[in-house]
Structure 1
């Protein structure tokens, strides 16, 4: 006991000296008490601390209060991290770092993350993005489709990415381009769409912003290169219809392959349901059969000459006469037309009919001449390597 009592006074001296030299240093010395001054003369310290033998809790209580003033408690920190991650979808490590740097101010941290994200997005903008989705929006006699690319299929399945893609398609549908023809396929360039305003209402990305800024925000959230690659609008001359089909569709309006087709009629008809039904079936046919041309007359001379040369070389290898070779070439050209010309193809839902026969039957059903005005097929990522080398990014499209 005597030893314990004798140890109390040195502890008191140690604690006073520790605090007297640990705050407000000038040249390494405390401004409260000059170095070497007796503890008994330090009235300022005595007024701030009351140390009772065996009860140093007030001192350590002050220490804990100093730390608690600098950062919220652990539970509150976790709540802030959770809230900020829900707001931004940023990686949890980046969320925590931003909160720490901003003294746990969630609004400032969110702003900081957005700044960092934009820098990150610009650094990743040169990376090839071959995945993504096609988004489609439609109104009476008109359809718009855009391609929004990302680097991985994982991001393409993200709800924020999908929401943005659908918003871009709706914006493209509103575009009025008076310089283009009234019907048919009209490209809507990504450069043109970049500066248009979007009004977003998703919990994690909302407000009015340009298309460019919205894409940058989503790229920052996803941590990948996100790119609006291209857009197209197809219009039908009224009273016709624009019909669409999306393949590999995670939700309505989204897919990886799109087929769009217009059906035009000479006279106003009452059986629009029949027109829409057959139009939807033909749009599906376009996706499955991959036609390159609408009619035989529209097959390009270059494509025909190239195919004829290949077929002639194959026929001559049989060793038959020149007359026989010519007949073989013509017979195989008919087969080529059946493969690449929409009107000559066998209908995928009933191979006893050609598409031409199907359209003729529809004309009889609705009581007015019906024709396919134009069609096109587009697939995510097609031609990206070719685009980098020759800037060719047009989908397969044909118009009468």
Structure 2
């Protein structure tokens, strides 16, 4: 029996030494009861600090039989892995940083979650500044409005995945709302609100992952660091109307109220100031949707620029001449096709998208009869995420916006 017991202990010792020495390449060893074994646990000293409750039996370790060692160490390693995953999950929820960055920060900070969070913020800001030159053509339009004014801003990122993130969406809405509050525009019309207007703008954020008073630029940098992408405020516009008008808006592909990928804004003004809001807002919203769908460039035929008209006339003349008809016939063909051009690019001449049997001018005329006073479209605007970005980067020239 003694021989068998000794044989079992020897076999347990041999298996223990082989398993442990094979799972760790370290040359460091420790001796217990005359046997050498690989210091697998000590190789994870940085994390062992977070699992002291599981290693509390270590002082009695030397008194345990050799065959007990693998069980003790296996218990320690399994507990460490569970705590690692818990810390990674907690830090990921706090920062929304990529998992690989979260894990790297925890390892570098000996699994101290507070130190790792600070490290992530520092490294994230550095990376955000390095990524600021990368193309950001995705993102969202954020809209904020009141009775007489609407503010629309475009916040860009690199991928649609980030555009769907709640922090990115929260920041976009916060920028639009704050710009609307501080803008003192009282004159009717549309006015640009560029990134320079946000330089000294302070946001009061109340999101679990980004809160407190912070400048707009710092907030954008913070979110860029969290997302791991280039995030930038590209442009913004404020559209106002007089006391005799209303502002109507429409957002297309909207993940939540106030956000979308394409926006249409339109103002309606009543001559005598008799604002029948229900009728005006209903028609205004439908016309704002029409602006998104039909993409008008000009409000009336009279406002079509001479350059645009002459360029179109030249194209139509060239097409007509290829038919081989007489000069008089060619002139008639050009004039007829110009009318079609007006229907394509002039808002008041376009067929209404919800009823193509009438045009927008007829819609406005019918509204005027309903409210008992002349109604006019003051201005309109259409904006889409990412439009013109490649052209801007190639030519470095601003694109004209149609109003």
Q: Report the TM-score, using the length of structure 2 for normalisation.
A: 0.80
Aligned partner of residue 294 in structure 1, secondary structure? coil
**Paired position in structure 1 for 2:171:** 164
Task: Output one character per residue of 1:85-109: Cα deviation in whole Å (capped at 9) or x when no partner.
Answer: 1000112222122223223332221
Pairwise CA distance, 1:316: 1.5
**Paired position in structure 2 for 1:366:** 371
Pairwise CA distance, 1:50: 10
| Structure 2 counterpart of 1:94, from 98, 101, 113 | 101
| Structure 2 counterpart of 1:120, from 118, 127, 134 | 127
Q: Does the alignment pair 1:284 with 2:284?
A: no
Pairwise CA distance, 1:372: 0.3
Task: Output one character per residue of 1:341-384: Cα deviation in whole Å (capped at 9) or x when no partner.
Answer: 00111111111211111111111111111100000111111000
Work out the CA distance in 1 between the residues paired with 2:112 and 2:198: 35
Work out the CA distance in 2 between the residues paired with 1:103 and 1:313: 74
Query: Cα–Cα, structure 1 residues 120 and 51, in superposed 2: closer, same or farther, change >3 Å?
Result: closer
Pairwise CA distance, 1:223: 1.2
Work out the CA distance in 2 between the residues paired with 1:122 and 1:50: 53
Work out the CA distance in 1 between the residues paired with 2:398 and 2:239: 17
Task: Output one character per residue of 1:220-262: Cα deviation in whole Å (capped at 9) or x when no partner.
Answer: 1111111111101101111201100011111111111100000
Query: Cα–Cα, structure 1 residues 270 and 146, in superposed 2: closer, same or farther, change >3 Å?
Result: closer
| Structure 1 counterpart of 2:188, from 183, 187, 202 | 183
**Paired position in structure 1 for 2:348:** 343
Aligned partner of residue 125 in structure 1, secondary structure? helix
| Structure of larger gyration radius | 1
**Paired position in structure 2 for 1:105:** 112
Aligned partner of residue 268 in structure 1, secondary structure? coil
Query: Cα–Cα, structure 1 residues 343 and 103, in superposed 2: closer, same or farther, change >3 Å?
Result: same
Work out the CA distance in 2 between the residues paired with 1:175 and 1:392: 29
Conserved? CA contact 1:142–1:234, under 8 Å: yes
**Paired position in structure 2 for 1:234:** 239
| Structure 2 counterpart of 1:224, from 207, 213, 229 | 229
**Paired position in structure 2 for 1:321:** 326
**Paired position in structure 1 for 2:216:** 211
Work out the CA distance in 2 between the residues paired with 1:139 and 1:192: 20
Query: Cα–Cα, structure 1 residues 17 and 245, in superposed 2: closer, same or farther, change >3 Å?
Result: same
Work out the CA distance in 2 between the residues paired with 1:245 and 1:382: 18
**Superposition CA RMSD, Å:** 3.3
**Paired position in structure 2 for 1:196:** 201
**Paired position in structure 1 for 2:141:** 134
Work out the CA distance in 2 between the residues paired with 1:91 and 1:245: 34
Aligned partner of residue 397 in structure 1, secondary structure? coil
Query: Cα–Cα, structure 1 residues 50 and 293, in superposed 2: closer, same or farther, change >3 Å?
Result: closer
| Structure 1 counterpart of 2:317, from 303, 306, 312 | 312
Greater shift after overlay, 244-253 or 311-320?
Answer: 311-320
Work out the CA distance in 1 between the residues paired with 2:322 and 2:84: 78
Work out the CA distance in 2 between the residues paired with 1:50 and 1:206: 49
**Paired position in structure 2 for 1:144:** 151
Query: Cα–Cα, structure 1 residues 315 and 83, in superposed 2: closer, same or farther, change >3 Å?
Result: same
Conserved? CA contact 2:392–2:399, under 8 Å: no
| Structure 2 counterpart of 1:154, from 146, 158, 161 | 161
Conserved? CA contact 1:144–1:234, under 8 Å: yes
Work out the CA distance in 1 between the residues paired with 2:395 and 2:181: 30
Greater shift after overlay, 325-334 or 72-81?
Answer: 72-81
